[in-house]
Amino acid sequence: MIEATEKQLELLWHTLGLHPECRLSSRNYFLTSPGYDDANNLDVLVEAGMMTRGKAPAFCSEDEVVYRATDEGKQFAVEKLPPAATPPKRTKFDAYLDECECYDGFAHFLGINMPQYQQRGEWGAREYRMVRYPRGSSYRQYRRHYDFARWSPYETLEVAGEWAPTLKEAKASYKAALKDFRAKPKMPANDFDRIYSA
């Protein structure tokens, strides 16, 4: 058995339809004409016992030759295949792209409850605030919502900033309110069950 060159290995892999991600042979032929560089390299593999030379099918030109890998050539080709590349680690965004038609944005896929802006007052005397509705609310959004007029003063809010004359101040107030909300101790599930089962 010889040590094949890189070119000869590539021809052997091509003959068998092999590559690192596909290690099962899907074919076994290579059609070429004598005198070409491919034929010269394949003749070296024939001499080494890794390939055979045969007559081309009737629909081909008379001077063309079909090369086929022998069992030894197949085994050699598979052994010399480089290891398959490790697939890149899948991220949550990759999973989102697989089924993005089912969601209203990446935040929806992640289950993030996006804050929204509210507005009140007339032109020149408007005030804004940023709020977040609780999970399960019909007002909850998965994208930042800027349709200022669509809100109800009677809806329950999970986090609410103070009314402010600018969006920037409203956002700063919301961030402070969110920080306070996160600092509050959460009631453990078993305490909740105990209170409401009594």
pLDDT in tens, 14-35: 999 888 777 778 889 888 888 7
Indicate the pTM of the whole model: 0.45
Residue 169: both structure tokens together:
């101040």
Range with the lowest mean pLDDT among 69-83, 147-161, 172-186? Answer: 147-161
Q: Where are the domains of the chain?
A: 6-80, 111-186
CATH of 6-80, one of 2.40.10, 1.10.10, 2.60.120, 2.60.40: 1.10.10
Nearest partner of 79 among 43, 50, 41, judged by Cα: 50
* Amino acid in the structure at residue 82: P
Helix ranges restricted to H, the chain: 6-16, 37-47, 71-80, 92-98, 106-110, 167-183, 189-197
**Which pLDDT tens digit goes with each residue over 50-101?**
999 988 888 888 888 899 999 998 989 888 888 877 878 888 888 888 887 7
Question: What are the beta bridge partners of residue 172?
Answer: none
Gap between the Cα atoms of 161 and 130, Å rounded: 6
